[in-house]
Amino acid sequence: MHNTAVPTAARRIAAIDIGTNSIHMIIGEAGRGGYRVVDREKEMVQLGLSSLDGAPLSEDAIERGVAAITKMCEVARGWEVEEILAVATSAVREAPNRRDFLRRVKESAGIKPKVISGEEEAHYIYSAIRSAVDLGASTVLCIDIGGGSVEFIVGTAGEIYFTASEPLGSLRLAQRFHLQDDCVFADIAACRDHVVEHLRRVQKRVRGIGVDMCIGTSGTIQALTNMAAGASDSAPTSAPRALTFQALTDLVGLLATTSAKDRIAKFGIDEKRAATVVAGAVILHAILDTLEVQSLLASPAGIREGILQTRLAESDIDAAAGAALRRAAAIELADRSECDKRHGRLVARLALRIFDQTVKLHALPPESRELLEMAAILHETGMHVSDRGYHKHSYYIVRHASLRGFTEDQLIVVANVARYHRKGIPLDVHQNLEELTPAQRGDVEKLVAILRIAEALDRSHRQAVRDVAVQVGAEVRFRVRARSKASVEIAMAKKRARYFAELFDRRVRFDAV
């Protein structure tokens, strides 16, 4: 499908999904209202073969992965793409030698893949689904079975309600329960029990929310849908196709009695797919049974389409219009969450005052100022869930809100800054920090240090503090301008400022004026 005569006028972007089982690339050409795919590449590299569950990527797997990515990048550059975006998921995320793999990819292919969290996977997948399928007013359950993990997303056309990532991928469980070739009933039953055990939290949330339809993505679900319909695994699947629970039940029974060689001959699948498809079928069957889903729509959309969709949407937003759109989206979410908006506005104003007066100290880029303001506006969104640990609820709500105008990276920063406005400070053991790059982590820590003080200065929600002046020298002096007694606020600000003092290695002083 490669084209050697490529015009240069069109804007093209390549998206590479480095999965546990397969590596995919699509090249999209931007057009009016979206994009069209001009090229695709796929290699079933099986990076997770003989690894996962804490084991390092094998040397053979690393070599296969690096070679496949290098080849794809060469194809992308032949199309004169504007940029190559690559993400790595479960196998690389869990591998203790992931740094070595990423270094070798950069040396060979000239790109630096981003290792993303399960939550980020879910967001990309759902972005692709919303573009590929008309969801209407439905609440949708999306299931994506990768080689290392299964992603669950529940949402509507406009909002994500719930995401979960479980270590139940087809390659992982095929290896753990010996389902690559001839299978025995005890191993199949053990695999099913393992899946059901991991689904308790997901089951509770899905039942609580309620869903109208189910959509399945990933090569595993595509292959099972084709096999159940009697089509070849390589049959065209540009449109979503239905897979019923009964058809899947029949297929699991059939697959359980076949060897890998039999599966290749009967279903026209390749050797690597044949080694994981039994596990994939058992996993999907257990999920549909547990969640009481009678049928799903199998969609060919996946992470790579979501990456492309997200990137093009980001670049289509003019900077000024984007800022206005983001502010409107944040205020709308605050309204829905029944926040104390007066408190949020004051905290945002105080935070920006501190930011502007400490620029030489924190040295953050100008765009961080807006993210601080958004975090201040949204820091109490979790209160409508519960006042206990509401800062953690705020993180989750903001992180999964799909706010208009925000890029994925911006949402990650805003959510994490809001998360730490009170209580504990950012620590390495906190899972939500794992999705941050080192540069983002540094920015988040500095913004958190500022927001913690600003929020403390309206601790009582009485608007007792009207302004704060900051002088930066050997010590950082905060001159608090109060309109009424503000002893509670100043005491709390002194306490919260310990993190600021530690982070910037400066003494901190507060005076009421």
Phi-psi category of residue 230: left, alpha or beta, with phi > 0 → left and psi -120 to 50 → alpha: left
Q: Which two tokens stand for residue 103?
A: 């270094």
Give the residue ranges of DSSP H helices in 337-437: 341-357, 359-362, 367-378, 390-399, 408-419
pLDDT at 430 over 80: yes
pLDDT at 236 over 50: no
Order of strands across the sheet that contains 83-88: 34-43, 23-31, 12-18, 83-88, 114-115
* Closest CA relative to residue 42, chosen from 14, 78, 68: 68
Do the strands 114-115 and 83-88 form a parallel or antiparallel pair, or are they unpaired?
parallel
Give the pLDDT confidence score for residue 336 in this predicted structure. 86
Model pLDDT for residues 241-259, shown as the tens digit of each residue: 899 999 999 999 999 999 9
pLDDT at 433 over 70: yes
311-314: long-range contacts (C-beta < 8 A, 24 or more apart)? 311/13, 311/15, 311/83, 311/85, 312/13, 312/28, 312/30, 312/34, 312/35, 314/407
Instruction: Please give the average per-residue pLDDT across 212-224, as a whole number.
Output: 92
- 125 near 142, Cβ under 8 Å? yes
More confident residue, 322 or 418: 418
CA pair distance 508, 5, nearest whole angstrom: 63
**12-116 and 134-300 share one CATH topology?**
yes
- The CATH H-level (homologous superfamily) assignment of domain 12-116 is ATPase, nucleotide binding domain (3.30.420.40)
Tracing tokens 């958190």 back to the chain, one arrives at 448
Domain ranges of the chain: 12-116, 134-300, 317-512
- 444 near 413, Cβ under 8 Å? yes
Indicate the fold that domain 134-300 takes in CATH: Nucleotidyltransferase; domain 5 (3.30.420)
Indicate the fold that domain 317-512 takes in CATH: Hypothetical protein af1432 (1.10.3210)
Give the pLDDT confidence score for residue 202 in this predicted structure. 93
- Whether the full predicted model's pTM is greater than 0.75, yes or no, is no
Give the pLDDT confidence score for residue 175 in this predicted structure. 92
- Which H or E run contains 37? strand 34-43
CA pair distance 323, 484, nearest whole angstrom: 34
- 370 near 323, Cβ under 8 Å? yes
